[in-house]
Amino acid sequence: MCVFAAATRLLVVWNRTTGEAFVANDGQRGGWPDRTGPDGGRPARAGLSEAILHFLERGVSLVVSSSDRANRPRVGRALAVQVPADGAWIGVCLDRTANAALLAAVAETGRFALAATEPSTHLSIQLTGEDATVTAADAEATILAARHVDAFAAELALIGYGDAFTRALMAHDPATLAMVRFRPSRLYDQTPGPKAGTAVPP
Amino acid sequence: MSAAIGASLTLDAIRACLEGAVPATIATCALDGTPNVSLLSQVHYVDPDHVALSYQFFNKTRANILANPIAVLQLIDPPTAAQYRMELSYLRTETSGPLFESMKAKLAGIASHVGMQDVFRLLGADLYRVTAIEAVPGGAPLPAPVAQRSLLSATRRACEALRGCADLTELLDHSLCALRGLFGVEHALILMPDEATGRLFTVAALGYDSSGVGSEVAPGEGVIGVAARERVPIRITHMTSDVAYSLTARDGAEDAGLTGGPAREIPFPGLERPHSQLAVPILAGRRLAGVLFVESRQEMRFTYDDEDALATLAAQLGALMQSLPPAEEVAPVPAACLEAGGAPVVVRHYAADDSVFVDHDYLIKGVAGAILWKLVRDHTTLGRTDFTNRELRLAPDIPLPDFAENLEARLILLQRRLEERCGVLRIEKTGRGRFRLVVTKPLLLQETA
């Protein structure tokens, strides 16, 4: 499936399997990138449209979860999203020290969820996958994390949070970064409202 | 999760994370293990072992916790950005009552603050037991700001200041004085209930252009009315656009015409655009003795700690109100010698609601109105100026249930309204349980059925 924004700012969800498209968000609060992929919104990388990929790379809040074998949920905060050019998977960069239990659960079950929310607009999506793996972060991830902290600080400044607060919140040791790689299998519209949490049909 | 509740890190120690200033994150998982993560607008402190989360929509989080009751939160301390994780076990959902109402009011403020007033609606308060708390390792939290004052110290001094009060007037005055001097509160009201109607009327005020003494609030109306009805503190940390919590700018038009004649509403004195509000019920035993209300133009002015401090002060105030002996007379005083002269002033009484007007200006109604009408009648027909609380308590022409319990509050109300609105009449205390009606002009009484 993929998601892209039409010129009317309606969020349209496209099911890659069936070819059906439908409106998943009324877009009243606007803000979805008014941009489609080079092929008009068809899947770009990791099964996601350029619009969604662009959204993930903006100064959005990135929170993640997993669950262990005993079905206990784990929660954490991510630092950046990395999508390689070959488009096989999404990488999510996390501080290993702060997220030890979550990374252990990912390694154990492969289950992973990523929610990206833009604080100034409340636009939010969630991606989940069942095949997540934990790897060491590469040099590019370190650069992406630093860049994302800058973008997130600029975004939070729009709603009144000071730069020092955001940088303290996102503080991490570049030497201890981990990367969770997964292929998104489901995508939810999570913008607050009655449709929050509504699963898009597979 | 390593630190269990009661060990090194307690829920009380991280309550600043639950003020709603920064969204929390919640993770749950379905029975098949599929995880779900989302932001959370409200985590409400219930007691040292419980929190409640707002249930606004039937979403994935909700479906998950009903099937698999474990949730994990990641919380942010607003001033320092320190992060904590909290493991929860879902217990039940409440859809009415004190917990629901206090969350609903707070959510109204949060919703307006983040521009979601048309989206956030509380359907239920999901109650959870807190099973573990840990600080998120690593990070670089900012230094904690220095507190402006010690609320614990302020509470102790305030309670001590109330202890020596001899009567209700002193209790009310000392309470407002303590709020201003010890807690830095700039705007406050104390209201007391009319047992007959359930409505609350203002008896003391701090920091408003117009004191509003005598203004009324219905049970369930605004933060004050909800606090009174549910007997639970109601606190809003951001300005809300929800009209359910707005009490200001009533001009009395709604009241005109109900009983005939001119409007009888005393405008509520509250701030036009309060950014923080807190109403705390004052309980005397099981009885609602009043509501202590504070507000501010500053966002997040009143925290959980302020709520606890003022709830403690209100508890002390309620206990002392209950233990006050009836103010009966103790000593005779010389008769009044003031001679009234000049053109007469018309005092009109409407029997329908005991409202009293002086020269066409509304003064007071209800029990306080009935008291005033008795005083001016006795004054004009019998020449009396000195009265006792006891005779009012026994007076058949002030026929109200439970009247005796709140006589002092009514006299305070009447005394303050006369001070503020009437240059012709005033009430002066002349001793314990005794007072004098001072009349500076001749009175012409008119009774209207």
pLDDT beyond 50 at A6: no
- Model ipTM over 0.85: no
| pLDDT confidence tier of residue B117, bands split at 50, 70 and 90 | low
Task: Judge: B27–A75 Cβ closer than 8 Å, yes or no.
Answer: yes
Q: Which of B26, B57, B83 sits opposite A194 (nearest CB)?
A: B57
Question: Can you give the pLDDT at residue A2?
Answer: 36
Instruction: Please give the full DSSP string across B156-175, using - where no structure is assigned.
Output: HHHHHHHHT--SHHHHHHHH
Q: Compute the Cα dihedral for B242, B248, B253, B256 and give only its sign.
A: positive
Residues B259 and B377 in one domain: no
Task: Judge: B34–A128 Cβ closer than 8 Å, yes or no.
Answer: yes
Rg of chain B taking only CA atoms, in angstroms: 26
Q: Which of B25, B72, B138 sits opposite A97 (nearest CB)?
A: B138
C-alpha distance from residue B364 to each of B15, B209, B297, B434 (Å) = 44, 19, 30, 21
Task: Judge: B63–A173 Cβ closer than 8 Å, yes or no.
Answer: no
The residue type at B417: R
Report the C-alpha gap between A140 and B272 in whole angstroms: 53
Residues B260 and B176 in one domain: yes
Question: Cα–Cα–Cα angle for B178, B315, B217, nearest 5°?
Answer: 80
What lies within 8 Å, CB to CB, of A61 at 6+ separation is A115, A116, A117, A118, A119, A152, B39
- The answer for B416, left when phi > 0, alpha when psi is -120 to 50, beta otherwise, is alpha
Which has the higher per-residue pLDDT, B115 or A93? A93
User: Does the residue B182 lie in any domain?
Assistant: yes
Residues B292 and B169 in one domain: yes
Residues B117 and B77 in one domain: yes
* Closest chain B residue to A162, measured at CA: B79
Q: Give contacts of B 33-62 with A, CB under 8 A.
A: 33-39, 41, 56-57, 59-62
CB A151, CB A135: distance < 8 Å: no
Question: Can you give the pLDDT at residue A44?
Answer: 64
Mean pLDDT of the A97-111 span:
97
Mean pLDDT of the B255-259 span:
43
Report the C-alpha gap between B104 and B118 in whole angstroms: 14
User: Does the residue B328 lie in any domain?
Assistant: no
Residues of B in contact with A124 (CB under 8 A): 38-39
User: Does the residue B101 lie in any domain?
Assistant: yes
Question: Can you give the pLDDT at residue B250?
Answer: 43
Residues B184 and B41 in one domain: no
Question: Can you give the pLDDT at residue A22?
Answer: 35
User: Does the residue A116 lie in any domain?
Assistant: yes
Spacing of C-alpha B62 from chain mean position? 34
pLDDT beyond 60 at B34: yes
Instruction: Please give the full DSSP string across B176-208, using - where no structure is assigned.
Output: HHHHHHHH---EEEEEEE-TTT--EEEEEEES-
Task: Determine contact: A31 vs chain B, CB below 8 A.
Answer: no
10 Å Cβ neighbour count for B214? 25
Question: Can you give the pLDDT at residue B263?
Answer: 67
Q: Which of B68, B81, B114 sits opposite A169 (nearest CB)?
A: B81
Mean of pLDDT over chain B: 86
* B281-332 pLDDT tens trace: 999 988 999 999 999 999 889 999 999 999 999 999 999 998 887 666 555 4
Report the C-alpha gap between B305 and B311 in whole angstroms: 10
To the nearest whole Å, the CA of A113 is away from the closest chain B CA by 6
Mean pLDDT of the B348-368 span:
90
Question: Can you give the pLDDT at residue B90?
Answer: 97
Residues of A in contact with B25 (CB under 8 A): 63, 75, 77, 115
| pLDDT confidence tier of residue B262, bands split at 50, 70 and 90 | low
Report the C-alpha gap between B299 and B238 in whole angstroms: 5
Lowest-confidence segment of B45-59, B179-193, B255-269, B340-354 by average pLDDT: B255-269
Task: Judge: A171–B59 Cβ closer than 8 Å, yes or no.
Answer: no
**Which CATH number do you get for residue B354?**
1.10.10.10
User: Does the residue A166 lie in any domain?
Assistant: yes
Lowest-confidence segment of A188-197, B232-241, B389-398 by average pLDDT: A188-197
| pLDDT confidence tier of residue B266, bands split at 50, 70 and 90 | confident
Instruction: Please give the full DSSP string across B95-146, using - where no structure is assigned.
Output: -SSHHHHHHHHHHHHHHHHTT-TTT----EEEEEEEEEEEEPSS--PPPPPP
Interface test with A, best of B22, B38, B107 (most A CBs within 10 A): B38
pTM of the full structure:
0.81
Number of folded domains that form chain B: 3
Task: Judge: A122–B27 Cβ closer than 8 Å, yes or no.
Answer: no
What is the percentage of chain A residues whose pLDDT exceeds 90? 58
Rg of chain A taking only CA atoms, in angstroms: 16
Query: What's the full length of chain B, in residues?
Result: 449
User: Does the residue B146 lie in any domain?
Assistant: no
Q: Give contacts of A 172-201 with B, CB under 8 A.
A: 172-173, 176, 188, 190, 192-194, 196-199
Residues of A in contact with B70 (CB under 8 A): 71-73
Lowest-confidence segment of A11-25, B45-59, B255-269, B330-344 by average pLDDT: A11-25
Interface test with A, best of B29, B40, B64 (most A CBs within 10 A): B29
Q: Where does chain A show beta strands of DSSP type E?
A: 2-5, 11-14, 21-25, 61-67, 73-82, 90-95, 112-117, 124-129, 133-136, 177-182, 186-189, 198-199
Question: Can you give the pLDDT at residue A4?
Answer: 34
Q: Which of A63, A109, A130 sits opposite B37 (nearest CB)?
A: A63
Residues of A in contact with B37 (CB under 8 A): 63-65, 75, 113-115, 126
Q: Are strands B216-217 and A61-67 parallel, antiparallel or unpaired?
A: unpaired
Tokens describing residue A157: 């400044």
User: Does the residue A62 lie in any domain?
Assistant: yes
Residues of A in contact with B63 (CB under 8 A): 197
Report the C-alpha gap between B84 and A84 in whole angstroms: 32
Task: Determine contact: B136 vs chain A, CB below 8 A.
Answer: yes
C-alpha distance from residue B333 to each of B242, B431, B433 (Å) = 53, 8, 12
Q: Which of B38, B72, B141 sits opposite A190 (nearest CB)?
A: B38
Q: Which of A100-114, B101-115, B192-206, B395-409 has the highest mean pLDDT?
A: A100-114
Task: Judge: B29–A190 Cβ closer than 8 Å, yes or no.
Answer: no
* B163-174 pLDDT tens trace: 989 889 999 999
pLDDT beyond 60 at B338: no
* Closest chain B residue to A66, measured at CA: B35
Residues B318 and B395 in one domain: no
* B73: containing domain: 12-135
User: Does the residue A40 lie in any domain?
Assistant: no
Question: Can you give the pLDDT at residue B382?
Answer: 86
pLDDT beyond 50 at B348: yes
Task: Judge: B119–A193 Cβ closer than 8 Å, yes or no.
Answer: yes
Task: Judge: B141–A71 Cβ closer than 8 Å, yes or no.
Answer: no
| pLDDT confidence tier of residue A85, bands split at 50, 70 and 90 | confident
Interface size, chain A vs chain B, as Cβ–Cβ contacts under 8 Å:
134
* A12-63 pLDDT tens trace: 343 333 333 333 333 333 344 433 434 444 456 777 888 888 899 899 999 9
User: Does the residue B172 lie in any domain?
Assistant: yes
In 3-state terms, what secondary structure has residue A139? Answer: helix
* Closest chain B residue to A166, measured at CA: B81
* A124-170 pLDDT tens trace: 999 999 999 999 999 999 999 999 999 999 999 998 899 999 999 99
Lowest-confidence segment of B57-66, B351-360, B361-370, B401-410 by average pLDDT: B401-410
The residue type at B139: G
Q: Which of B25, B34, B116 sits opposite A75 (nearest CB)?
A: B25
User: Does the residue B141 lie in any domain?
Assistant: no
Residues of A in contact with B120 (CB under 8 A): 192
pLDDT beyond 50 at B252: no
pLDDT beyond 50 at B257: no
| pLDDT confidence tier of residue B255, bands split at 50, 70 and 90 | very low
* Closest chain A residue to B137, measured at CA: A98
**Which CATH number do you get for residue B87?**
2.30.110.10
Question: Can you give the pLDDT at residue A30?
Answer: 39
- How far the first Cα of chain A sits from its last, in Å, is 7
Mean of pLDDT over chain A: 80
Number of folded domains that form chain A: 1
User: Does the residue A59 lie in any domain?
Assistant: yes
10 Å Cβ neighbour count for B110? 23
Task: Judge: B39–A115 Cβ closer than 8 Å, yes or no.
Answer: yes
Report the C-alpha gap between B355 and B364 in whole angstroms: 6
To the nearest whole Å, the CA of B71 is away from the closest chain A CA by 6
Residues B156 and B299 in one domain: yes
Residues B355 and B400 in one domain: yes
User: Does the residue A129 lie in any domain?
Assistant: yes
**Which CATH number do you get for residue A53?**
2.30.110.10
User: Does the residue B334 lie in any domain?
Assistant: no
User: Does the residue A143 lie in any domain?
Assistant: yes
Place of tokens 């840990």: B134
Mean pLDDT of the B263-268 span:
79
User: Does the residue A138 lie in any domain?
Assistant: yes
* Closest chain B residue to A118, measured at CA: B39
* Closest chain B residue to A165, measured at CA: B81
Phi/psi of residue B74, nearest 5 degrees = -115, 125
Interface test with B, best of A64, A169, A188 (most B CBs within 10 A): A169
Question: Can you give the pLDDT at residue B57?
Answer: 80
CB B204, CB B215: distance < 8 Å: no
Report the C-alpha gap between A26 and B234 in whole angstroms: 34
Question: Can you give the pLDDT at residue A196?
Answer: 66
Question: Can you give the pLDDT at residue B398?
Answer: 76
User: Does the residue B7 lie in any domain?
Assistant: no
CB B80, CB B46: distance < 8 Å: no
Residues B155 and B123 in one domain: no
Task: Determine contact: A95 vs chain B, CB below 8 A.
Answer: yes
Structural domain ending residue among the three candidates B135, B166, B193: B135
Question: Can you give the pLDDT at residue B405?
Answer: 61
CB A46, CB A89: distance < 8 Å: yes
Residues of B in contact with A192 (CB under 8 A): 41, 56, 116, 119-120
Number of H helices, E strands in chain B: 9, 20
What is the percentage of chain B residues whose pLDDT exceeds 70? 87
Question: Can you give the pLDDT at residue B256?
Answer: 40
Question: Can you give the pLDDT at residue A88?
Answer: 82
C-alpha distance from residue B53 to each of A115, B124, B195, B231 (Å) = 19, 8, 35, 21
* A157: containing domain: 48-199
